[in-house]
Amino acid sequence: MYPHERSLVKRFAGQPFALLGVNSDSDREALKKTLVEEQITWRSWWDQGSPDGPIQTQWNVTQRPTMYVLDDKGVIRFKDLQADELDAAVDRLIAELRGK
């Protein structure tokens, strides 16, 4: 998953796009190493080391990974897309913004 996320961040650099992550790893120090090793440059929150942490609970995350694609108004437009579908969804939303 991380390689595809890195490619999204690179592909949409300079465009109205932000990738955000939530992580539930129990070992926060190990997570910090993973962030460096996997070159995770986007904002990623630690959800108290639990898959039932407050962020995932509020967003009703029941499986991992869960991907939400929000538009510029914060409305969830897509959920749980595969790689190619995810790219197409982001392309679509950016095209909509350019059309405004």
- N-terminal to C-terminal alpha carbon distance within the chain: 32
- Count how many domains the chain has: 1
Specify the pairing of strand 68-70 against strand 43-46.
unpaired
Range of the domain at 70: 2-99
pLDDT tens-digit readout, 23-61? 999 999 999 999 999 999 999 999 999 999 999 999 999
**Is the pLDDT assigned to residue 16 strictly greater than 80?**
yes
CATH number at residue 93: 3.40.30.10
pLDDT at position 64: 87
From 65, 18, 25, 70, select the one nearest 35 (Cα to Cα): 25
